[in-house]
Amino acid sequence: MAYNKGTAFERQLKHLLEAKGFFVVRASGSGCDGVSPDLIALHTTRKIAIECKAWKNNLHLEKPKVETLHQWEQTTGMPVFIAWKSPRKEWRFFPLSVLKQTERGFTLAKEMLPIGMTLEEALK
């Protein structure tokens, strides 16, 4: 059920980006392969990669996944954002640099949600 919820939120964000004129590629099962972000959004003026998370509490990301996202960013030159959808809130976007490293991986505290970028800010 969690997979279906995550897929639905990925598709929701994909449609929001398409409505803003982006061509969006959704990497089906990206959480399983570990080699790509969930969405790649392309426009003549902006290109970004997005890892989508729909979660109520603090986010936790595994170290190998974050390392892969950093590699993706360095190799492609595209900024990678963590897009976080909390219940009854709008999407918020965070660059990888704001993730806090822990012993077991990386985290983003739910208190950070209000200061995350809006979709419009992330697309500038």
- This prediction's pTM: 0.89
Q: Note the pLDDT tens digit of each residue in 110-124.
A: 999 999 999 999 998
Q: Note the pLDDT tens digit of each residue in 61-89.
A: 999 999 999 999 999 999 999 999 998 89
Domain segments of the chain as ranges: 2-122
Mean pLDDT estimate for the chain: 90
Of 30, 36, 86, 97, catalytic: 30
What is the structure's pLDDT at 53? 93
Q: Which residues of 100-110 are buried (b: 16+ CB within 10 A; e: fewer)?
A: eeeeebbebee
Tell me whether residue 86 is one of the annotated catalytic residues.
Answer: no
- Give the torsion through C-alpha atoms of 74, 75, 79, 83, to 10 deg: -100
CATH number of 2-122: 3.40.1350.10
